[in-house]
Amino acid sequence: MRWVAALAAVSVVVGLGLWWGGWFSSRPLPEFRPTQVTHSSAWEGQPALSPDGGRIAYTSNEAGNSDIFLIDVRGGYPQNLTSSEARDRDPAWFPDGSALAFSSDRGGQTGIWKVGQLGGDPVLLIPAGAQPAISPDGEKIAFVRPDQEGTYRVAVASLENPADSILLTSSGDGFWDHFEPAWSPDGRWICYSARHNLWIVPREGGPAHRLTSQNEHDFSPIWSPDGEFIYFASEREGIQALWRIPSSGGLAERVTVGTGQEGHPDISQSALKMVYSTGAPDRSLLLYNRDSGNETVLSEISDDWMASINRDASQVVYVSSRWGAELNLALQDLRGGHPEKTPRRLGAQEGIPSHPRFSNDGRWVAYYQIIGEERDIYVIGIEEGLPRRFTETPSTEMHPDWSPDDSQVVFVSDRGGRPSVWINSIENGLPVGSSRPLDVGEVDLAYAPVWIADGSAVAFVGRDTEGSEVWLVETEEGARARRLTSGAEAMRVRYDARTGGLLVSGLWGEDNLSVRSVSLTTGEALPLNPPLVLGKTGDLPLFDASSDGEILLFTRENRRGDIWLIESTNGVF
């Protein structure tokens, strides 16, 4: 996603006990030269340098599903350390270089496993967790796992007793999920990413402190070996590149030029080498005919996505960057299932629009707007192009959808303390009366709601400790949600007019992300015929369906990427 260029605000991290380096660091960036290490046509990412700086562990789907590979920093033939049908990712070295920890869904649940540097049979370390990071002394492991509400938090456990873990972060320590923990060299602090910013939390727990604050999508932090800097990936200035910022706060400076989607930096203990990944996603917006299986390309611009199709399949609205670095809503006319004329911009306002949805009469589009850390529902008229704010609370509101008669809007809000499903009446693009919540039952995190055709119920994706499934709740007062699917690993849901059921994108226990038709009564899930595969694990799950269920609209992302090495010629990172 592309963002408006902005300078990082200067922030002193209170109470960290770290030296304050002022506006700029006294140590300039070293000169370096980049070298491409991997050359496969597959996706290769998440590199981790061995402690001695001689080898790189990384994740690749070269074997058909994601495995952990090992390669010499000079290149050569990579070794598959975890060849299996499981999805293995997030490699992290033990400090002595003898083994690696990694995330895997082997055993039916995502956990953290350990494998020797030469391979062998992996052993389970943490039954429920992901994204491991081993402390510099080799005694503790940081990782992420869902809390009681299903939101990912940073946790720490002793490697002597991994079952005895504590959560270090909570809802006040950064917006939404917390990911990618990274240890400071002295083992006292952990830096992590929270939605769009980086935060730092003490190893023993306690209040976390935000390191970056401009909501520029900063992620994948790693500390320099001397602890003076934190290197990270960011989408600042509309380019995904590597940056660094003093660990005590200050101004961020760019490290790389951003020739590809650069991310996941890691630094050798000598501070003379850094590895990172580059990505070149080949993203297309496609129309799919369920009868023939034919796919029509609507757009091949990478930032054309989050699309919705209107009732008679005559228009498509989506998020686009075709008018500059900022994202806007784009309206595309269709004729006979093919694009007609040039798309036009629909409205313009501060922030970033997300997840637009046509009203059933085709006159309105509901979406949510991201302005800093605020997320609110807006409605815009197709003809007038004037955005109208539909929700205005301190809470986060997103993922709107229209009732069949366009008299109500359902959306997700955390105004009740956790992301849940709410509805509000609407007239002429404005709210009528107050919002009320639906009872989502045992779900800790609800998102992506959609009305069924008779307006009596709402389906949504709900995440709890057992996974991500589709739930159904009637809209009448006092109704309680019930789980509809099992083992779907669901991500998005739409009503299926063809069968009277639902269309659901999910993994279904496979490495492929696909759409299946789900019965509203039994929850039985059947692949489409012809089948529709959206991509692999980690690809975009977004799709929409025409009112008759004949045409599906989706984004397919064919990810490619390589591992690169940069070596300093006159200093340290």
Rounded mean pLDDT, 26-40:
86
Candidates 210, 183, 214; CA nearest to 194 is 210
Candidates 212, 245, 189, 220; CA nearest to 18 is 189
Sequence ranges of the domains in the chain: 32-279, 283-558
Domains 32-279 and 283-558 share a fold: yes
Tell me if the bond preceding 530 is cis, omega within 30° of 0.
Answer: yes
The yes-or-no verdict on residue 537 having pLDDT over 80 is no
Rounded mean pLDDT, 32-44:
88
Q: How confident is the model at residue 224 (pLDDT cuts 50, 70, 90)?
A: very high
The yes-or-no verdict on residue 109 having pLDDT over 90 is no
Quote the mean pLDDT of the chain.
Answer: 87
Give the per-residue pLDDT at 305: 86
Residue 107, Cβ neighbours under 10 Å: how many?
11
Question: Is the Cβ–Cβ distance between 174 and 209 less than 8 Å?
Answer: no
- pLDDT above 70 covers a percentage of the chain that reads 94
- For the entire predicted model, the pTM comes to 0.69
Give the per-residue pLDDT at 548: 87
Rounded mean pLDDT, 391-399:
91
Q: What is the DSSP code (8-state) at residue 174?
A: S
Q: What is d(CA 375, CA 368) in angstroms, rounded to the nearest whole number?
A: 6
Residue 292, Cβ neighbours under 10 Å: how many?
8
The yes-or-no verdict on residue 408 having pLDDT over 80 is yes
Report pLDDT digits (tens) over 124-170: 999 889 999 999 999 999 999 988 777 889 999 999 888 888 999 98
Tell me: domain 32-279, CATH 2.120.10.30, correct? yes
Q: What is the DSSP code (8-state) at residue 439?
A: B
- Please give, one letter per residue, the 3-state secondary structure of 427-496: ECCEEEEEEEECECCCCCEEEEEEECCCCCEEEEEEEECCEEEEEEEECCCCCECEECCCCCCEEEEEEE
The yes-or-no verdict on residue 559 having pLDDT over 90 is no
Report pLDDT digits (tens) over 247-291: 999 899 999 887 778 999 999 999 999 999 998 666 788 899 898
Which tokens in the block code for residue 472?
């159904």
Candidates 205, 143, 126; CA nearest to 168 is 205
Q: Which CATH number fits domain 283-558: 3.40.50.1000, 2.40.240.10, 3.30.200.20, 2.120.10.30?
A: 2.120.10.30
Q: How confident is the model at residue 21 (pLDDT cuts 50, 70, 90)?
A: very low
